[in-house]
Amino acid sequence: MAVVKSKKVTFAAGHLAAIFASLITLTPVYLVCVNALKSEAESAAMGPGLPSELHLENFVIVIEKGKLVTSFFNSVLYAGVSAALATLFAALAAFVLSRHRSRLNRAIYFFLIMGIALPINFFTLTKIMQLTHLINTKPGIIILYATLQIPFAIFLIYGFVESIPRELDDAATIDGCGPFQTFFRVIMPLLTPVLVTTFILSFLNTWNDFIMPLYYLNSSENWPMTLAVYNFFGQYKQSWNLVSADILLTIVPVLIVYLAGQRFILSGMTSGAVKG
Amino acid sequence: MARVELKNINKSFGTTQVVHDVNLAIEHGEFTVFVGPSGCGKSTLLRMIAGLEEVSSGKIEIGDADVTGERAADRGIAMVFQSYALYPHMTVADNMTFGLRVARRPKPEITEKLASAAKILRLEDLLARKPAQLSGGQRQRVAIGRAIVRDPKVFLFDEPLSNLDAELRVQMRVEIGQLHKVLGSTMIYVTHDQVEAMTMADRIVVLRGGRVEQVGKPLELYNDPVNAFVAGFIGSPRMNFLSGVVTDARQIKVAGTEFVAPVASGLVRGQTLQLGIRPEHLAASNGVKIEATVNVIEALGATAYLYTTTDSGEKIVAEWRGALPQIGNRVKLCFEPGAVRLFAEGGERIR
Ligand SMILES: Nc1ncnc2c1ncn2[C@@H]1O[C@H](COP(=O)(O)OP(=O)(O)O)[C@@H](O)[C@H]1O
Ligand SMILES: [Mg+2]
């Protein structure tokens, strides 16, 4: 009896915690939703009240004035290409590091995944971006994003590589594959679930980032969606209704990608990374 | 012609040497089995022949060409792995033709080779399936099919049957034997199972600790082992080893009896040695007698095995024909002196 009771109590407590956590995350979403539909004056306080009349035209204004179409494609370009690059290079690296566990390779692996935890030093990063002439360029921000995603991507994929029997590599070698063919024709197809996971997570991280373009892209032509909010939020004037509408439009693609890829994210995270 | 010759092969992983100066010549068309306890270097030796592992020193020749530095794919070998190592994302047909496709062979050749291998192995109906949809035995046949399609000079097998259940193992043993007859290729087969070695091999190579202990036909090893290790490893149930002491030039005292040993040269009085006698040689109706107490009886129908202990506490397994004794009974185990193999304390054979 006592066991059943205590189980029930934990269950209820868990539910309460989940509801509480949901409230915390949902509150800003709710605020953004209601304020996106208000007039500029009504939204000035960012209050929780419902709009007195619906201002759906906010979205049209935002898309036009904020050059949201351009920044949408910028975001797709940055997040898509950097996620693809990060996934590919991380997979190649994880394959080699996991298959040849020499002392040196272990050291390299730990050095690389330290990047998950260590903060970025913006001073040196800026120096390097200037030195390589990558600052304020699209390729520059793509390379930067790819690099930032690589540590976590390697961490995710590394454990998965181990779950692929080495005898497959041997069989491929006997069938005439060199290291690259072995990777692309045998290993990579078997890594598909974790590669999809890595791609999605990396895509979402980059899509949601606000800091890097703020520092390393000065031309608004190159801004991703997250920065477009600056068009409505300045020193002298804050249009909270437009800011809210912009934020909503920025979230939508993320939601679509997340919902479409949710299945892969869960399976990829649980079956591989845990073992790694 | 595809002889395989290993000359002074050594292999070290870091500072541990796992293969010691192996010299071996395998004739064309021979079915050779490498056998030895787990960890004795069988796989390492096979992988060096395959080109999956580099030799630390020495030379490997296949078909009179030195292949020591050659890529695995260019050595004219094919390998069947213990875990089958089929590519899970490819169909059976794609698995089997992968090597040919990597080598960019013409389509008609690929189709033809696939068809002929599939026919030999009765895989025609399975070609569109993925490995996950096959039984263990079918997977192993696909793995063998993948080897056949490569049309190799030498087939290499690394414990290919150890993942199968006992019944299927016997069946596949026969199939591989038949395949060897049909193809007539040189085959090297690695196993830790001496029964597989005895039943399949033209020649057996017994390995221990990275060294070749003895090479020979199955019955040569069985009847004429060069040392106690080979004698004990080959044969099931295992050969019994009893300790004896030389009481006179050829007189040996063992387990309470004395007999004249069948050795050519004289022994040193007082010398201790090991006396090897196989269970089936203890079923003789007369000869030298050892008294022992029965602990366990294993009746197999046609024969029975008695697990016994002598008065001096040594364990003896004996084959038994005739009426079965009771557990706890004392029995007389008889052997012909000629059936005994003598080994020095270090294990070397005394002839
Ligand atoms: N890649 C390796 N690195 C280090 N030691 C190894 C490696 N492969 C095999 N060994 C060692 O070499 C010895 C022989 O191994 P192996 O050839 O696999 O034995 P077997 O196949 O006879 O069981 C074992 O002691 C094993 O631990
Ligand atoms: Mg082995």
pLDDT at B98 over 60: yes
Helix (H) or strand (E) holding B292: strand B288-299
User: Is B232 a residue whose pLDDT tops 50?
Assistant: yes
Task: Give the closest residue (by CA) to ligand 1 atom 7.
Answer: B13
pLDDT, position B301? 85
> Is-cis flag, bond preceding B237, omega within 30?
yes
Q: Count other Cβ atoms within 10 Å, centred on residue A263.
A: 12
CATH superfamily label, B4-233: P-loop containing nucleotide triphosphate hydrolases (3.40.50.300)
Contact B149, B180 (CB under 8 A): no
What's the pTM value of the predicted model, to 2 decimals?
Answer: 0.86
pLDDT tens-digit map of B247-276: 887 888 888 888 888 887 768 888 899 999
Half-sphere exposure of B133 (CA within 13 A, CB side): 10
Q: Provide, rounded to the nearest whole percent, the portion of chain B with pLDDT above 90.
A: 82
Confidence of residue B241 (pLDDT cuts 50, 70, 90): very high
Residue-wise pLDDT for B10-29, tens only, equals: 999 999 999 999 999 999 99
Average pLDDT over residues B326-343: 92
Domain boundaries, chain A: 2-35, 57-271
Tell whether the model's pLDDT for residue B189 goes beyond 70.
yes
Which is it for the CA torsion A175, A177, A179, A184, positive or negative?
A: negative
Neighbours of B301 (CB within 10 A): 5
| pLDDT class of B238 with cuts at 50, 70, 90 | very high
How long, in residues, is chain B? Answer: 351
Tell me the mean pLDDT in the region B214-242. Answer: 95
DSSP H or E stretch at residue B251? strand B251-254
Note whether A175 contacts B99, CB cutoff 8 Å: yes
Give the residue, by CA position, lying nearest to ligand 1 atom 21.
Answer: B43
Calculate mean pLDDT across residues B339-346: 92
Residue A123 backbone phi and psi in degrees, to 5? -65, -55
- Is some CB atom of chain A closer than 8 A to the CB atom of B324? no
Find out whether the beta carbon of B41 lies less than 6 Å from any atom of ligand 1. Answer: yes
CATH class of B263-350: mainly beta
- Contact between B76 and A166 under an 8 Å Cβ cutoff? The reply is no
Q: Is B145 in the pocket of ligand 1 (CB under 6 A)?
A: no
Question: What is the position in ligand 1's atom list of the atom closest to the CA of B41?
Answer: 17
- HSE value, Cβ hemisphere, 13 Å, CA-based, for B192: 10
pLDDT at B116: 94
- Chain A CA closest to residue B72: A174
Atom number in ligand 1 closest to CA B42: 22
Report the complex ipTM: 0.89
What is the B38 CA–ligand 1 centroid distance (Å)?
A: 9
Cβ of B40 less than 6 Å from ligand 1: yes
B152-173 pLDDT, tens digit per residue, is 999 999 999 998 898 999 999 9
State the pLDDT at residue A231: 81
CA-based nearest residue in chain B for residue A191:
B89
Beta-strand relationship, B203-208 and B211-216: antiparallel
Asked whether the beta carbons of residue B102 and residue A170 sit closer than 8 angstroms, the reply is: no
Q: Locate the chain A residue with the closest alpha carbon to B103.
A: A176
Given CB atoms, is A185 within the 8 Å cutoff of chain B? yes
Let me know: does B251 contact B266? Beta carbons within 8 Å. no
Q: Does A181 touch chain B (CB under 8 A)?
A: yes
The helix/strand/coil state of B304 is strand
Q: Which homologous superfamily does the CATH classification assign to the domain defined by A57-271?
A: MetI-like (1.10.3720.10)
Q: Of A252, A249, A239, which is closest to residue A35 (Cα–Cα)?
A: A239
pLDDT in tens, chain A (276 residues): 555 667 788 888 889 999 999 999 999 999 999 999 998 888 888 888 888 888 889 999 989 888 899 999 999 999 999 999 999 999 999 999 999 999 999 999 999 999 999 998 999 999 999 999 999 999 999 999 999 999 999 999 999 999 899 999 999 999 999 999 999 999 999 998 899 989 999 999 999 999 999 999 988 889 999 988 888 877 667 788 999 999 999 998 888 888 888 877 766 555 433 332
- Per-residue model confidence (pLDDT) at position A2: 57
Burial class (CB in 10 A: 0-12, 13-18, 19+), A272: buried
More confident residue, B209 or B270: B209
Q: Which of B10, B13, B81 to mutate to test the pocket of ligand 1 (most atoms within 8 A of CB)?
A: B13
